[in-house]
């Protein structure tokens, strides 16, 4: 669990309902980046039991203005319901704020394979002081790339061009 | 200080921050489909989304703290201009791209400094919202600052537009550093910084970029304030008329 923030699966010894919830969550994709699930993104902060035994799933929003957040919440609810977890409580926590450092290792690989340069590890923290890190081209691997716009096709992406293969590409914006 | 005084100050403060974000976000959204180039269209829309996202968090927090059943939509769509608490700066019309960028830059240089301080607020919800927002407004400041340099240190025409924009807009900037009972109550409780303490950092950020842009911060003529207590310029009413139309015509409509 990095920074006490997010996690990517049940803890050892978790009960059957908690495991079922994780399985259901792992089937919910980001509508904007369908290769990633909400678990890959690190949006799931906790799946656990309240003191009274109720199952509670806590999610964290990614970018403040992301228009997909409503759809994602709806899809998570539906996935839990379809898994028979209709009494599970779904809530949201803003703090600690989500960071790109919470994207899972397999999520980073999926992004690269999809053509989106993944955020370097630790870049979320560094973005506060040194925002300029040049991503390698996800297509040809060249490090010779330039920024076209720090605001890309969605709230989470910036737009780049590779100087080697000349292809434009998106990168995941570090926060 | 009673709990009621503190609660009421917190509601007013959150409304000021939420309304300022919402009005600026709406202004930027007016560029959608009209910006000088595609990348800039995307950038302005992205910044608008961030700002509306911040507004939602502040207004939802204001509504919950107030405890009278008003949610973020109720606060955004069912208050008139005299109940809006945004800075006068952000309601000023877009005019042209240069004026839009100058307005954005003056605001961003303030919001970065404010959110950095609020991230260590004694109120955990205020600190949480600020810690989230500060990461995003830094991108805004970088972007608007780069454009100020590009246009200020650009052609004769672009430089003249930027100089005119800063001249027009500077009269609204003092309002960002004003304090009344609301801020004083929250400053005493360790929840918000004294706004005046933000001024030096703001001036340093603004002056560094303006110097690179071959411009300078103009002297303030005809200082204007009042937005924080509901006294607005004529521009806000027109903005609200468009933004609130649907909920005013069909209250509670959803789709």
Is B124 domain-assigned?
yes
In angstroms, what separates the C-alpha of A12 from chain B's closest C-alpha?
30
Q: pLDDT tens digits, residue range A68-119?
A: 888 999 999 999 999 999 999 999 988 888 989 999 999 999 999 999 999 8
- Looking at residue A12, its pLDDT comes to 86
Strand partners, A47: A57
CA dist A153 and A155 (Å) reads 7
CA dist A160 and A166 (Å) reads 10
Let me know: does A152 contact A62? Beta carbons within 8 Å: no
User: For A1-24, what is the mean pLDDT?
Assistant: 81
Is B255 domain-assigned?
no
* Predicted confidence band of residue B148 (pLDDT cuts 50, 70, 90): very high
CA dist A2 and A6 (Å) reads 6
Mean pLDDT of chain A: 88
- Looking at residue A155, its pLDDT comes to 80
Is B65 domain-assigned?
yes
Q: pLDDT tens digits, residue range B67-84?
A: 999 999 999 999 999 999
Q: State the total domains in chain B.
A: 1
Is B66 domain-assigned?
yes
Between CA B73 and CA B85, with CA B79 as vertex, the angle to 5 degrees is: 100
Whole-number Cα distances in Å, A128 to A161, B109, B116, B241: 24, 15, 10, 38
| Chain A to chain B Cβ contacts (< 8 Å) | 81
Let me know: does B178 contact B228? Beta carbons within 8 Å: yes
Is B128 domain-assigned?
yes
DSSP structural state of residue A49 = E
- Looking at residue A2, its pLDDT comes to 44
Pick the residue from chain B with its C-alpha nearest to A159. B39
CA dist B110 and B91 (Å) reads 16
Q: pLDDT tens digits, residue range A129-138?
A: 555 678 899 9
Q: With an 8 Å Cβ cutoff, is B108 touching chain A?
A: no
Note whether B50 contacts A94, CB cutoff 8 Å.
no
| CATH code of residue B83 | 1.20.1260.10
Let me know: does B56 contact B9? Beta carbons within 8 Å: no
Is B254 domain-assigned?
no
- Res A125 pLDDT > 70: no
CA dist B91 and B228 (Å) reads 12
Note whether A153 contacts B42, CB cutoff 8 Å.
yes
Pick the residue from chain B with its C-alpha nearest to A130. B138
**Model ipTM?**
0.81
Q: Look up the domain containing B195 and give its range.
A: 3-218+225-249
In angstroms, what separates the C-alpha of B222 from chain A's closest C-alpha?
35
Where do the domains of chain A lie, and which CATH numbers do they carry?
2-98 (3.30.300.130), 103-172 (no CATH)
């Amino acid at each position: 669990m990095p920074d006490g923030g997010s996690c990517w699966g049940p803890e050892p010894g978790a009960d059957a309902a908690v495991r079922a919830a994780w399985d259901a969550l792992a089937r919910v994709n980001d509508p904007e980046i369908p290769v990633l699930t909400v678990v890959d993104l690190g949006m799931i902060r906790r799946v656990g039991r309240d003191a009274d035994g109720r199952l509670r799933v806590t999610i964290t929003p990614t970018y403040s203005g992301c228009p997909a957040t409503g759809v994602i919440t709806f899809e998570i609810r539906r996935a839990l319901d379809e898994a028979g977890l209709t009494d599970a409580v779904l809530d949201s926590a803003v703090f600690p704020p989500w960071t790109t450092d919470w994207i899972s290792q397999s999520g980073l690989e999926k992004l690269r394979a999809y053509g989106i340069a993944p955020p370097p590890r630790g870049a979320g923290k560094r973005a506060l002081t040194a925002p300029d890190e040049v991503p390698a081209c996800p297509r040809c691997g060249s490090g010779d790339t330039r920024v076209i716009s720090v605001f890309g096709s969605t709230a989470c992406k910036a737009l780049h061009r590779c100087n080697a293969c000349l292809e434009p590409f998106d990168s995941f914006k570090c926060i | 200080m009673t709990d009621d005084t503190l609660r009421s100050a917190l509601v007013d403060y959150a409304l000021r921050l939420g309304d300022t974000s919402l009005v600026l976000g709406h202004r930027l959204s007016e560029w959608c489909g009209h910006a000088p180039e595609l990348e800039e269209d995307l950038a302005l829309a992205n910044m608008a989304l961030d700002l509306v996202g911040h507004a939602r968090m502040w207004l939802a927090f204001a509504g919950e703290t107030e405890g009278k059943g008003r949610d973020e939509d109720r606060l955004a769509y069912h208050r008139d201009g005299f109940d809006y608490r945004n800075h006068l700066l952000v309601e000023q019309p877009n005019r042209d791209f240069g004026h839009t960028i100058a307005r954005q830059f003056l605001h961003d240089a303030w919001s970065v400094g404010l959110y950095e301080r609020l991230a260590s607020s004694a109120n955990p919800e205020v600190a949480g919202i600020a810690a989230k927002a500060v990461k995003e407004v830094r991108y805004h400041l970088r972007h608007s600052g780069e454009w100020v340099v590009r246009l200020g240190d650009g052609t004769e025409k672009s430089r003249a537009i930027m100089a005119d924009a800063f001249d027009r807009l500077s009269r609204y900037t003092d309002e960002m550093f004003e304090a009344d009972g609301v801020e004083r109550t929250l400053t005493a409780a360790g929840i918000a910084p004294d706004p005046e303490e933000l001024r030096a950092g703001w001036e340093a950020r603004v002056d560094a970029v303006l110097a690179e842009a071959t411009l300078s911060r103009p002297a303030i003529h005809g200082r204007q304030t009042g937005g924080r207590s509901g006294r607005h310029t004529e521009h806000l009413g027109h903005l609200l008329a468009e933004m609130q139309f649907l909920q005013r015509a069909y209250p509670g409509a959803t789709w």
